[in-house]
Amino acid sequence: MDSLVAAVIHDAKNALNTLNVRLDQARQLAPSPPLEQATAIVANLSTRLVELLAFYRADQGTLRMAVEDQNLTDFIDDLQQELAAEPDLPITLEWDIAGAQAIGAWAFDAYLVKVALLDALRNALRHARHRVSLSVTAEPGGGIRLSVADDGPGYPAEILAGESNLAMAKGSSGLGLRFAALIAERHCTPQGRRGRLALANNQGAIFSLILP
């Protein structure tokens, strides 16, 4: 039964990928707001399935991290291209290319970290008033911090108060935050230093993925 659950999740994700290709073709032929909205919904569902599969594999002890050196400038470019297909919003999206170039490269699982950051960026775009930014900075003592900030209302108090267990926000499963915390913690050094998720409010919400 356990392997069947994983297979069903995997098949559903593949079906959504096929649907997304068809939607892209339809948007090229006849762009329309409903098609843009449908594309965003498919992207959200696909992300949730990736997260569910990761939790399932973590529970089964089969979640493997593909940690390799990544060029941070190229990584940010990949994020930009992923969001290029999103519906246009009256929000300014700022990318910290200079910070990425200053650090150069870092070792992490590019696919899973990208899923976590795209989820954070989409969430920020939904709640921002005017601006969303992604920054890359070096952590004191080693590591990098990938932060998504917006100028919206910020995280609910219950999310910040329960950051250790990522209590559910009202009207939300909190799955994206739980996934980000899982992926951060699965990044570790031979010395035992682990990544973590940090949440804060400062004129809006700040989501930070800290990788060792």
- φ, ψ of residue 148 to 5 degrees: the values are -115, 120
CA gap 211, 144 in Å, rounded: 5
CA gap 198, 37 in Å, rounded: 30
pLDDT in tens, 45-61: 877 788 878 888 787 78
For the chain, list the strands marked E by DSSP: 68-71, 92-95, 105-108, 131-138, 144-150, 196-201, 205-211
Q: Domain map of the chain by residue range?
A: 2-60, 68-211
pLDDT tens sequence for the chain (212 residues): 456 666 777 677 778 778 878 877 887 888 777 877 787 777 778 777 888 788 887 877 888 899 999 999 999 999 998 887 666 677 888 999 999 999 999 999 999 999 999 999 989 998 999 999 999 999 988 899 999 999 999 998 888 876 445 444 444 567 889 899 999 999 998 888 999 999 999 999 999 999 99
Radius of gyration of the chain (CA): 17
Q: Residue 9 contacts by C-beta under 8 Å, 6 or more apart in sequence?
A: 49, 52, 53, 56
The candidate with the shortest Cα–Cα distance to 146, out of 61, 211, 203, is 211
H/E stretch holding 101 reads helix 97-103
* Superfamily of the domain at 68-211: Histidine kinase-like ATPase, C-terminal domain (3.30.565.10)
Q: At what angle do helices 175-186 and 110-127 cross, to 10 degrees?
A: 150
What's the predicted TM-score (pTM) here? 0.81
pLDDT in tens, 163-180: 445 444 444 567 889 899
